[in-house]
Structure 1
Amino acid sequence: MPPIAILASTIMELSQLVKAASAVPVELGHLEAYRGSVAGREVLCAVTGIGKANAASATTVLLERKEIELLVNIGCGGAFPGQGLSVGGLAIATSECFADEGVLTPQGWHGLDLIGIPLFEHGGRPVFNAVELPGELASFSLQLARRLGVSAQQGPFLTVSTCSGTSARAAELLAHFPALCENMEGAAVAQMALLYGVPFLEVRGISNLVEDRDLSRWDLKGAVTAAQSFVLELLQSPLPLPHR
């Protein structure tokens, strides 16, 4: 059976999984990567680097060189106020969105549909900003989190190039796209997974709220620990993966 691949932007967001899987370094192009196993499942962990370009490049390297059963993107994220998430909780993506790509006009910002040029096409349909994700995987993950007593929500994610550090920016983003949280890599990984036909799941631990930046209210360590602890439970569960 092909391995389950777990991608994160930094080793901090993978270190707990690497240790639990007794993973050892493996050669995978330019990537920092580790191979191990959890509950008899082979696991391949890789560090993408921060941002969309690094994430897309790393995912492409992985999927060109390895057959993968499931691609999981984990890490931390900033939750938008009023979405039912708090620091330390989990967000599970039902869709991803390239929230920066678009056009700024005198009448305001618009998505790529305004100029009619999609980011890519899939199944004969243009994808402008939002990338839909497999609903069954997200729903299964949410149900598992609730059985474990973990505070979690599922919903749309936004991927941005600039982390939002003001409440005004949070309101601006939400005016264009409904979302639970923001991150800097997920939409790029989701796009590559869709193009290569690999099931994809994204889970983020909430490190902060998207508000006027105040690091004293953040908990990065708690967020990455929550995400990795949950994925370890997920790896030991009967995942609803499609037959390919």
Structure 2
Amino acid sequence: MSRIIVTASTRMELSELLAATTACALPGGGHVPLHRAEVGGFEILFALTGIGKVNAASATTLLCERYAPDLVINTGCGGAFAGAGLAVGDLAVADSECLADEGVTTPTGWRGLDLIGIPVYEGRGERLFNRIPLDQELARRALDCATAGGFDAVMGPFLTVSTCSGTTRQGEELLRRFPGVCENMEGAAVAQVALMYGVPCLEVRGISNMVEDRDLSRWDLKRAVGQVQRFLGLYLEQLAAGRPGIR
């Protein structure tokens, strides 16, 4: 039976999927709370990682070592950058991930890890510094599934940060460093660990806010996580059914 692991940082970002798939708590996940469900011929493990890159990397490492997944899906909410074509409640699909604040502050400005010359990953003929590649075809099929299902969705690069951007100015600074459509706090860590283990990784997030001067009255976390979980429920059903263009 093929195994898919779905990771998110908070229970709110998994609760609707757990209910929809009637997932049951699974012991043996160590420090990572796990639930298990079967969808068609797939075993789905839902993992609650906790917030941030350290928690995400630790959890993904444990899951890859212990459960040898065929696919890792990282989900949750994210903030959309201006000009990305996204609004609150839309879906963003990652075609790559980026460690957007790993680097060096110099007298002439911020520089990425290539300035140091030490990659975060080296293998399979690659030396990766800030940008972590994702499976383009997997992302494209997910985008097609979303649009066919009536979801408003955009595909593009994601930026992972340790400090959420609470100002328009900070968002503009990040985009000067790297192109991006969506900001989050875990995705690059999950993608990097999955790459190390040779496991395909898909990241889809619901947009909860725009990257702008922080104003919680303009946020909608419930709508964001609800939309992305409804999409992933559809995606997993169609994947299990072997729908052409999904598998």
Q: Structure 2 length as normaliser, TM-score?
A: 0.95
Could you say which residue in structure 2 is the equivalent of 1:16? Answer: 16
Q: Aligned letter for 1:10? A: T
Identity score, percent: 59
Does structure 2 conserve the Cα–Cα contact (< 8 Å) formed by 1:8 and 1:74?
yes
The separation in 2 between residues aligned to 1:60 and 1:115, in whole angstroms, is 26
Deviation at 1:124, TM superposition (A): 2.6
Could you say which residue in structure 2 is the equivalent of 1:189? Answer: 190
The separation in 1 between residues aligned to 2:186 and 2:158, in whole angstroms, is 11
Q: Which range moves more in the overlay, 140-149 or 152-161?
A: 140-149
Could you say which residue in structure 2 is the equivalent of 1:122? Answer: 123
The separation in 1 between residues aligned to 2:121 and 2:200, in whole angstroms, is 18
Does structure 2 conserve the Cα–Cα contact (< 8 Å) formed by 1:20 and 1:38?
no
Does structure 1 conserve the Cα–Cα contact (< 8 Å) formed by 2:72 and 2:201?
yes
Deviation at 1:38, TM superposition (A): 2.6
Does structure 2 conserve the Cα–Cα contact (< 8 Å) formed by 1:94 and 1:132?
yes
1:99-110 alignment, distance < 5 Å:
99-110=100-111
Q: Structure 1 length as normaliser, TM-score?
A: 0.96
The separation in 2 between residues aligned to 1:208 and 1:145, in whole angstroms, is 20
The separation in 2 between residues aligned to 1:235 and 1:20, in whole angstroms, is 11
What SS does structure 1 have at the residue aligned with 2:33?
Answer: strand
Which runs of 5 or more residues in structure 1 are unaligned?
none
**1:167-187: CA deviation from partner (whole Å, max 9, x where unpaired):** 000100000100001000000
Query: How many residues are treated as equivalent by the alignment?
Result: 242
Does structure 1 conserve the Cα–Cα contact (< 8 Å) formed by 2:142 and 2:246?
no
**1:54-89: CA deviation from partner (whole Å, max 9, x where unpaired):** 000000010110021210000000000111000000
What SS does structure 1 have at the residue aligned with 2:150?
Answer: coil
Q: Aligned letter for 1:138? A: A
The separation in 1 between residues aligned to 2:3 and 2:178, in whole angstroms, is 34
Note the aligned Cα RMSD (angstroms).
Answer: 1.3
